[in-house]
Amino acid sequence: MGDPHVVIVDLRDQKSYQKSHIEHAVNIPALKNLFDEKFFMPKLDYLKELFSDAGIDNESLVVAYDDGDFIWAARFYWILEVLGHNNVGILKVGYGNWKKGELPISSLAYHPARKEFVPRVDNSKVQTKLSTLMGIGQKTIIDGRKRPAYQGKESSAKRFGHIPTAQNYACTQNYQVTKNGNKIRDFSELKKLYKDLPKDKEIILYCDGGAEAALNYIVLKKLGYKASVYDGSWLEWGNDSNVPVENPSKNK
């Protein structure tokens, strides 16, 4: 707190932010700002302005938090890394899940001085439908949705099931529910959860719209895996009849 290079970003909706937030946190509501109308990453010019207005430049240490779903803070984290900014982290707990007085809070909107964010796009962290299709059988593919979606019992798209060869590691496994809210699991626990994944293969992550996969991305990166996110995810794949799917529920 008070370090001029630290930028705190609150990814919750505006109403929640106005009620209370960490002091000097800037509000960037995730759903409104981190997706375009087709749920892809917004255009580069838009993100450059968004991050510059938030007071982020290439010297900034960015700390993001949300309400404890973690996927919105993770989406923000991943987008920053795609744009070449690696000095970023997320709060290990949802908003308010700390001892009273441990962090200063405020209800006054914070408007930081604008800085100049310069993107340096790192394409190794993002996958397309074509690169994901080519990765089937060549790379490890992980589906970050909940089990019923993976099994083809429910779907956010017109088709049901999952990308062929994909393994199911729901992003919700990365955190635990406590009486005060959610918190990211210790990395010693997470290391055991992902222990069967090979470290010599690249990992492609997807979910419904690219947010849950971003949480898996953060955890796997921390554990030493080389991972990237298929931005179109199931909303694109599941609505395209030209690409293959596996539907376990159809076989029963």
Contact yes or no for 67/10 (Cβ under 8 A): no
Residues 6+ apart with CB under 8 A from 165: 136, 137, 141, 246
Sign of the CA dihedral 65, 69, 70, 71?
A: negative
Domains located in the chain, CATH noted: 6-106 (3.40.250.10), 123-251 (3.40.250.10)
- Write down the pLDDT at residue 250: 81
Mean pLDDT, consecutive 10-residue stretches, the chain (252 aa), reads 93 97 97 94 97 97 97 98 96 94 95 96 96 97 98 97 98 93 95 95 96 97 97 97 94 54
- Write down the pLDDT at residue 1: 83
Contact yes or no for 244/48 (Cβ under 8 A): no
- Write down the pLDDT at residue 225: 97
Sign of the CA dihedral 61, 66, 68, 73?
A: negative
212, two tokens:
């849950």
- Write down the pLDDT at residue 203: 98
- Specify the pairing of strand 105-106 against strand 21-22: antiparallel
- Write down the pLDDT at residue 251: 59
